[in-house]
């Protein structure tokens, strides 16, 4: 997974600068990012506080962990069905 140069706190602070009246092009130039990145962040983090972003990150990590456990469980179940379906 690609890592970001900016933390969630930094991203939210950049978005609050924009909400305060700074122009998108100026912010992108100042922080060294593209406008596409800015708008992707805006779609994901707009209206959030830092605590909301931390909670979102925690929930995403937990969701990924649960999906991995489910996939492993389904793989085990499929292997058991295949083993039991064989005729001796």
Task: Give pLDDT tens digits for 44-77.
Answer: 988 889 999 899 999 999 999 999 999 999 999 9
Look at residue 22 and give its three-state secondary structure: coil
pLDDT of residue 88: 65
CA 83 to each of CA 70, 71, 75: distance values in angstroms, whole numbers, following the listed order? 20, 18, 12
Q: Is the pLDDT of residue 26 over 90?
A: yes
pLDDT number for residue 5: 87
**Domain boundary assignment for the chain:** 1-48, 49-88
CB 7 within 8 A of CB 34: no
The pLDDT, as a whole number, for residue 86 is 80
Report the pLDDT value the prediction gives residue 30, as an integer from 0 to 100: 93
Q: How far apart are CA 57 and CA 79, in angstroms?
A: 33
């Amino acid at each position: 997974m690609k890592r970001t140069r900016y933390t969630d706190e930094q991203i939210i602070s950049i978005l609050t600068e924009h909400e305060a009246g700074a122009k998108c092009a100026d912010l992108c130039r100042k922080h060294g990012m593209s406008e596409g990145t800015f708008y992707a962040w805006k779609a994901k983090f707009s209206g959030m506080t830092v605590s909301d972003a931390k909670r979102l990150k925690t929930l995403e990590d937990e969701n990924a962990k649960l999906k991995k456990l489910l996939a492993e469980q389904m793989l085990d179940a499929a292997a058991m069905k295949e083993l039991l379906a064989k005729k001796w």
